[in-house]
Amino acid sequence: MDYSYDLRGFILSESVSLRKFRLKKLIDELKSKRGYHTELISLYIPPNKVLSDVTNQLNQEYGTASNIKSKTTRKNVLDCITKTTQRLKMINSIPDNGIVIFTGAIPQNGQGSEKIEQYVIIPPKPINIYKYLCSSEFYLEPLEEQLAEEESYGLIAVDRGEASFAILTGRNLQILKTITSGAPSKHDAGGQSARRFERVIEQLAHEFNIRVGEYANKLFLEVKNLKGIVIGGPGPTKDKFAEGPYLDYRLKDKILAILDIGYSDETGIKELVSRAEDIFRNVRYVEEKKLVQEFLGKLSKDTGFAIYGEKEVKAALNNGSVAVVLISESVDIYKVTVKCPQCDYTEDKSVSGKDISKFRAEINSLTCPKCNTPMNIISEKNIIDEIGELADLTNAKVEIISTDTEEGAQLLNFGGIAAILRYKSD
């Protein structure tokens, strides 16, 4: 079995979110593959590697594998090396991002039922390692690293009585901590008592700002790829905190904006994200919120420019009216086409992702309704890939929406598949 994936350009118009989703799904599938012995080969080739050098190493590995004592293991490893070498001969030059080849003897139904499976991947980002590894599982860490979000932002919502801290990374907003000061905000005293009371309040505010700075330093200095910090609050405290000697100089240099917001709790953090959309315009969390809000807005106003449901969205894709498809990452359905080898009867089945392996294993128990012959699987496709290919035909975008946001959860109420249209469908 041979599976080829060009995760850089398999779907020409695919979004970053779709590309990452497809890579994650593939990694999850590869994680489930296991060999009985060291019969799974992982080969990472960076763009600057000479192909002949790789082929020479594979020939050396073939010679070494010829000495494996177990006849079955020896045959499986040699077959995997041979198939990998054959695939390399089909490559004229290494792609700009490098290439990854996974080849393994995968058990189908117990020991002795192994079949050679091969996955050829052009990753979404350049790989910088050359590695050949023969193991009982595929080596996936370098690909998993490509899924990591590259940029994070620190958020601080602060006033005299309270401060909240959060990290925004891609689509994930994580509230880290909320602390309180206990300082009074007003008093009724007058004269000298008023001035003395103000001094006490200012001292308490200063001490609270020190605490806020200590928490910020502790929470944010260890964050990898921290691009910047945004500070907000309902009064002048945020400005005094940002301008004062409270933050570590490494964090102070990363302050991107100081914004007015109404609260300093978790609600204030979310308001701060909304107010800083121009700053976070490339952050996935904000992009997803905007997309779903646009869909919901058009739907609520009954403009005719928003639709939902698998059947409706596919129909609109076929007539070219779709601008953007929104698909929840929780949608996991396969369209499986089965065929009778005797009378050529075909049928499409919808199978959930969690049941697809079981369906494959038990396909022989599915018989043709016309002649009672066991059916064969002739094709299977994840619904997201199916929609992605339809979208590519008319340059519609496909955006994968997480369920981590409130808007993402709302999309599930519409079956997890929706679209914003270029023009009204008939």
How do residues 267-324 score in pLDDT, each as one tens digit? 999 999 999 988 887 777 888 888 999 999 999 998 899 999 999 999 999 999 999 9
**Are 104 and 171 in a shared domain?**
no
**Are 287 and 273 in a shared domain?**
no
As a whole number of angstroms, the distance between CA 271 and CA 230 comes to 12
Give the CATH number, domain containing residue 192.
Answer: 3.30.420.60
Q: Nearest to residue 126, comparing CAs of 93, 88, 96? A: 96
Least confident segment among 48-62, 192-206, 268-282, 337-351: 192-206
As a whole number of angstroms, the distance between CA 181 and CA 160 comes to 7
Residues facing 337 on adjacent strands: 348, 379
In the chain, the percentage of residues whose pLDDT exceeds 90 is 59
Confidence of residue 326 (pLDDT cuts 50, 70, 90): very high
3-state secondary structure (DSSP) of residue 391? helix
Quote the pTM value. Answer: 0.69
- C-alpha triplet 412, 11, 139: angle, nearest 5°: 85
Residues 42, 131 contacting (CB under 8 angstroms): yes
**Are 222 and 247 in a shared domain?**
yes
**Are 32 and 84 in a shared domain?**
yes
- What H or E segment, with its residue span, contains residue 147? none
pLDDT tens-digit readout, 372-398: 999 999 988 888 888 988 998 988 999
**Are 259 and 316 in a shared domain?**
no
**Are 22 and 158 in a shared domain?**
no
Give the CATH number, domain containing residue 426.
Answer: 3.30.1330.30
pLDDT tens-digit readout, 67-107: 989 998 999 999 999 999 999 999 888 988 899 999 999 98
**Are 217 and 319 in a shared domain?**
no
**Are 171 and 137 in a shared domain?**
no
- Give the number of other Cβ atoms within 10 Å of residue 110's Cβ: 8
Give the CATH number, domain containing residue 114.
Answer: 3.30.960.10
Number of domains in the chain: 3
**Are 252 and 291 in a shared domain?**
no
Domain of 188, in residue numbers: 152-281
- The mean pLDDT value of the chain amounts to 88
Domain boundary among 264, 281, 298: 281
Domain boundary among 258, 281, 304: 281
**Tokens, residue 221:** 């200095």
**Are 180 and 214 in a shared domain?**
yes
